[in-house]
Amino acid sequence: MPKISNKGINMPESPIRKLVPFAEKAKKSGKKIYHLNIGQPDIKTPELALEAIHDFSDKVVEYSHSAGFESYRKGLANYYQNLGIAINHDDIIVTTGGSEALLFALNTCLDNGDEIIIPEPFYANYNGFSTSAGVKVKPIATSIHDGFALPKIQEFEKLITPNTKAILICNPGNPTGYLYSKEELETLRDIVVKHDLFLIADEVYREFAYDGNVHYSVLSIEGMNEHAIVIDSTSKRYSMCGIRVGCIASRNKELMATAMKFAQARLSPPTFGQIAGEAALKTDVSYFEEVSAEYCEQERCASRRFK
């Protein structure tokens, strides 16, 4: 019998998705299931995104450019510019969700056996992405006692070895919800510049900042042009996880040219996902205000329920 690869054997199962068969079995038996395992919002997807798919009239569903439709990338660049992030469409590659963007980043920046430091607790699939790229995760512990704030610079330097090539953060954090301050991002800048590392920031929850707090992107921090990489996605921002469209963005030209090789190997991102994503960029600000209010209300309800 042929032997399965060691890489496949060592690939971890998603601890979140492992619960799916149990939920499906319970549903079939007539039980009501409350999904706390998968990040699938029940917020409605913006109507204009769905209408754009319905209105598709081309006779052929063609490949797009491997980097994604130019019109969509220009729209994304405008979205970032409106947030004060100076970036143009050539600094963006559209991907099949944020997951593919992470895989592109890991394979572009790290070789087999290289190490990446990730504040823990972290999104479970970072382990899977790293394993598939042959990368070793070096977790750095954060504490609930200070709200999962960034560890001291000395704690990072204890973990840095000649094999360390990158730091990965999620901002705001999944699953902690922690929002990094500008000062913390500047601390990370000092670390990656000093040790010549990449800083990969998963910013898919950018819009979910509450109580007057402000999200700062790593691309807005000075002195990071060659180091900073943003991973982004439409999944949670517009509540359309199944569209499977995200992007990788960086001002590092060599990095993006290398990531483009991986993008070409998978040919192109999904056409209908890009159509929906481009249309969603026109979503009125009131949509996000309503989403924020809904999440805040759910948080208040949960707080009362568990007191």
Contacts (Cβ under 8 Å, ≥6 apart) of 78: 281
- What share of the chain has pLDDT > 70, as a percent? 96
Q: What interhelical angle do 271-280 and 47-54 show, nearest 10?
A: 140
Contacts 24+ apart (CB under 8 A), 17-22: none
- pLDDT given for residue 111 in this prediction: 97
Length of the chain: 307
> Which 3 state secondary structure label does DSSP give 196?
coil
Q: Tokens for 147?
A: 């709200």
- pLDDT given for residue 161 in this prediction: 98
Residue predicted with more confidence, 291 or 73: 73
> Which 3 state secondary structure label does DSSP give 43?
coil
The model carries a pTM of 0.91
- What share of the chain has pLDDT > 90, as a percent? 79
User: Per-residue pLDDT for 13 more than 50?
Assistant: yes
User: Per-residue pLDDT for 198 more than 80?
Assistant: yes
Lowest mean pLDDT among 41-45, 65-69, 112-116: 41-45
Residue 32's Cβ-side half-sphere holds a number of Cα atoms within 13 Å equal to 1
For 206-230, the pLDDT digits (tens) are 999 988 899 999 999 999 999 999 9
User: Per-residue pLDDT for 240 more than 70?
Assistant: yes
Amino acid at 122: F
Instruction: Give the pLDDT band of residue 300 (cuts 50, 70, 90).
Output: low
Which domains are delineated in the chain?
A: 63-287 (3.40.640.10)
Measure the CA–CA gap between 185 and 177, rounded to whole angstroms.
16
User: Which uninterrupted H or E stretch holds 254?
Assistant: helix 253-265
DSSP structural state of residue 11: S
Residue 223's Cβ-side half-sphere holds a number of Cα atoms within 13 Å equal to 12
> Which 3 state secondary structure label does DSSP give 7?
helix
SS3 readout for 51-89:
HHHHCCCCCCCCCCCCCCCHHHHHHHHHHHHHCCCCCCH
